[in-house]
Amino acid sequence: MPDHDVVIVGGGSVGLLLGCVLRQRGVDAVVHERRVDPDPRSRAIGIHPPGLDALDAAGVGDAVRREALALEGGDVMSRGRTLAAIDFQGDRPVLTLAQQRMDALLRTRLQAQDTDAVQWGSAVGALVDEGSRVRVLTDDGRGAGESTARFVVVADGVHSPLRSALGMRWRRRPGQGDYSMIDIDDADAGDRATLFCEPAGLVESFPLPNGRRRWVVRRRVGDEVETAEGFADTVERRVGIRPEVPCGERPSTFRATQHLADHFVRGRIGLMGDAAHELSPIGGQGMNIGWTNAVRFADALPALDGEGAPDLTTWESGARRAARRAQDRSRFYMAMGMPLPMVAAGGREAVIRALGARSMRRRSADLVTMNGL
Ligand SMILES: Cc1cc2nc3c(=O)[nH]c(=O)nc-3n(C[C@H](O)[C@H](O)[C@H](O)COP(=O)(O)OP(=O)(O)OC[C@H]3O[C@@H](n4cnc5c(N)ncnc54)[C@H](O)[C@@H]3O)c2cc1C
């Protein structure tokens, strides 16, 4: 008899949420996280309505609502003019909250369900699918360990060494760009997001809770956006607003790419979150899709006590389809913020105006709030 129903490799946002949802349903799920301390990186901030549904399923929706900022809407601008303005529905809000806070709430929730539900400092080195169970080989820094599970979910992030060890191929999907970003204090942060789709390249500005704001810029060759001064200069040159980036603070830079694993399930092992699909952060969908696919996985999980591997074909095809569609949307968002010659920028502005037209507004709002994914 295996030690656990489900072992989850990786205590990031997706692994923790899946652990909460499974525990909530009486499944004996344990998370192995190689880190001892929380991930300090500043990454996701956007929670779309399907993501909030997933947080509700994990039992932390209300706690997130209390801490998060609800966006009233967003404006798309270019060359000083508003091209489109979208208002979000109050009953299906888009929220912003730092990923570290969401992870902290999920961690607290999971550990309240069972103090041993997360094994910190426990790196999973290998998985051996023996047909009726999976052996999980771990190392906690003091020595090697081993446990068994009826099913293993690999949610170890975008660079997932286990994914390649399992023979799942990582296929490139269209969409790439280089960006720089910083979160700063801003007493006037308000509750609307602004996307500046400028000929010189995208600038994004998102209000955060507690009087903070995130700025993101698309980098062009030659842009000096790695320093506080250079970042503020670039934003000011493009949109005429100078963010007050504290001297000495360094913006972080990232290259957005997109990938999809060719399989999400092999035998008694499944991939989830960034290990299964990498989405460009532009559009803010990666974590949200990871969460919705995690909840659908919990819904689809059959009784795990039979001899053969569980049939997750329907979940797998649905999860891959949702990820592909979200990647297509992210690719479109990236194209809307690409640097363009002035003449082509005029064509892009016409497209954005059309999407913001009264007759299209509902559909555009659905698009940016991940409706249907
Ligand atoms: C700049 C930026 C902004 C973003 N903004 C948004 C946004 O607004 N909205 C959105 O939805 N998404 C956003 N994303 C994407 C989001 O951050 C990811 O989709 C999300 O973190 C994926 O969660 P995960 O749990 O799959 O992976 P991770 O968060 O990477 O967690 C993986 C975990 O696995 C652990 N691990 C790795 N290997 C092992 C091992 N062998 N054994 C045990 N543990 C292991 C790691 O330590 C880590 O804690 C953004 C990303 C970036 C870079």
pLDDT over 70, % of the chain = 100
Distance CA 198, CA 239 (A): 8
Kindly report, residue by residue over 184-225, the tens digit of the pLDDT.
999 988 999 999 999 999 999 999 999 999 999 999 988 889
Residue nearest to atom 37 of ligand 1 (CA): 156
Statement: residue 24 has pLDDT above 80: yes
Domain 4-71+88-173+257-335, CATH number (from 1.10.287.90, 3.50.50.60, 1.20.1630.10, 3.90.950.20) = 3.50.50.60
Please give the backbone phi and psi of residue 135, each rounded to the nearest 5 degrees, phi first: -90, 135
Distance CA 225, CA 120 (A): 36
Q: What pLDDT score does 189 carry?
A: 84
Determine the atom of ligand 1 nearest the C-alpha atom of 15.
Answer: 25
Distance CA 13, CA 44 (A): 10
What's the mean pLDDT in 269-283? 97
Q: How far is the CA of 238 from the centre of ligand 1 (A)?
A: 31
Statement: residue 266 has pLDDT above 90: yes
Find the angle CA(96)-CA(101)-CA(106) to the nearest 5 degrees: 110
Residue nearest to atom 26 of ligand 1 (CA): 273
Kindly report, residue by residue over 338-365, the tens digit of the pLDDT.
999 999 999 999 999 999 998 888 888 8
Give, for ligand 1, the residue of 21, 156, 206 to mutate: max count of ligand atoms closer than 8 Å to Cβ.
156
Residue nearest to atom 5 of ligand 1 (CA): 44
Distance CA 297, CA 316 (A): 8
Structural contact between residues 196 and 78, judged by C-beta atoms closer than 8 angstroms? yes
Statement: residue 251 has pLDDT above 80: yes
Distance CA 31, CA 153 (A): 9
Segment among 166-170, 188-192, 323-327 with least mean pLDDT: 188-192
Q: How far is the CA of 274 from the centre of ligand 1 (A)?
A: 6
Instruction: Give the architecture (CATH level 2) of 175-255+338-368.
Output: 2-Layer Sandwich (3.30)
Q: How far is the CA of 94 from the centre of ligand 1 (A)?
A: 20
What's the mean pLDDT in 66-82? 96
Statement: residue 89 has pLDDT above 90: no
Ligand 1 neighbours, Cβ below 6 Å, are: 9-15, 32-35, 39, 43-46, 99, 123-124, 155-157, 181, 254, 273-274, 281, 284-288, 290
Q: What pLDDT score does 138 carry?
A: 98
3-state secondary structure (DSSP) of residue 224: coil
Q: How far is the CA of 273 from the centre of ligand 1 (A)?
A: 7
Give, for ligand 1, the residue of 64, 100, 264, 274 to mutate: max count of ligand atoms closer than 8 Å to Cβ.
274
302 pLDDT band, cuts 50/70/90, is confident
Q: What pLDDT score does 323 carry?
A: 98
Residue nearest to atom 48 of ligand 1 (CA): 12
Q: Would you tell me how many other CB atoms lie within 10 Å of the CB of residue 169?
A: 11
Q: Using alpha carbons, select from 64, 78, 81 the residue that is nearest to residue 209.
A: 64
Q: What pLDDT score does 366 carry?
A: 84
Q: What pLDDT score does 365 carry?
A: 84
- For the chain, the domains span 4-71+88-173+257-335, 175-255+338-368
Q: How far is the CA of 324 from the centre of ligand 1 (A)?
A: 18
Place of tokens 């060494």: 161
Q: How far is the CA of 299 from the centre of ligand 1 (A)?
A: 22
Q: How far is the CA of 320 from the centre of ligand 1 (A)?
A: 18
Q: How far is CA 86 from the centre of its chain?
A: 22
Q: How far is the CA of 12 from the centre of ligand 1 (A)?
A: 6
Q: Token digits for 63?
A: 């706690």
Q: How far is the CA of 370 from the centre of ligand 1 (A)?
A: 19
What's the mean pLDDT in 88-115? 94
